[in-house]
Chain A
Amino acid sequence: AQSVTQLGSHVSVSEGALVLLRCNYSSSVPPYLFWYVQYPNQGLQLLLKYTTGATLVKGINGFEAEFKKSETSFHLTKPSAHMSDAAEYFCAVSEDYIPTFGRGTSLIVHP
């Protein structure tokens, strides 16, 4: 069985500060890992994904995430937050074609 834990329902940062959104997973097989962003009243947009290969994955909008098998983590980072990054972020794990989503983390960016 697969599961995802996102630490912190809300993360607040100042514009220009480092963004760190935490995600830990459990999976019985090598997982596929995803980060999605959701803006109000919109669907999900894929930020990045890990399947195989390089453990540091770069995505859109300056985000990146590192797959750490020993820590079963897939934390999302961005060096410098922008006001437009304010949104809901979902981490997801998938062993087959059906992902399991975390509860989401709301990123708040202060000017």
Chain B
Amino acid sequence: GAVVSQHPSWVICKSGTSVKIECRSLDFQATTMFWYRQFPKQSLMLMATSNEGSKATYEQGVEKDKFLINHASLTLSTLTVTSAHPEDSSFYICSASSGMIKNEQFFGPGTRLTVL
């Protein structure tokens, strides 16, 4: 149980275009979802926390208009990178929490974004 999927697993896009990444909890209802960014050989950086039906809470330094997060249902959250540029290239990982087991998150497999 507690499986989280991400789609796509990798994406290549041209500079200036927008890219949407989906994060789904497959067998549980995720009251809270998290979006992380990971640069090569580095740790995870929390970008934002989203609760179903409400606006996401962004970490300091993360551009809200650049990284649009929508958590429309208890099983789906999306991250849209708007007007992507090469510096947005990274590995994006989502995680989800059901709230049933405090502090435990279940991680998706990640999405590799490359902006040309």
Which residues of A are at the interface with B, using a C-beta cutoff of 8 A?
Answer: 32, 36, 41-46, 49, 51, 90, 94, 96-99, 101-104, 106
Contact = CB atoms under 8 A, between A and B. Distances in A.
Interface of B: 4, 6, 32, 34, 41-44, 46, 49, 91, 93, 95, 97, 99, 102-110, 112
11 contacts: A32-B102, A36-B107, A41-B91, A44-B44, A45-B107, A51-B102, A97-B99, A98-B34, A101-B43, A103-B42, A104-B42
B105 A99 contact: yes
Nearest to B57: A98
Question: Which 3 residue pairs spanning A and B have beta carbons closest together?
Answer: A43-B107, A32-B103, A44-B107
Given A51-B103, A90-B43, A103-B42, A98 B49 contact: yes
Contacts, number: 51
B46 to A, nearest CB: 7
B98 to A, nearest CB: 11
A90 B112 contact: no
A95 to B, nearest CB: 8
B99 to A, nearest CB: 8
A77 B95 CA distance: 26
B93 A44 contact: yes
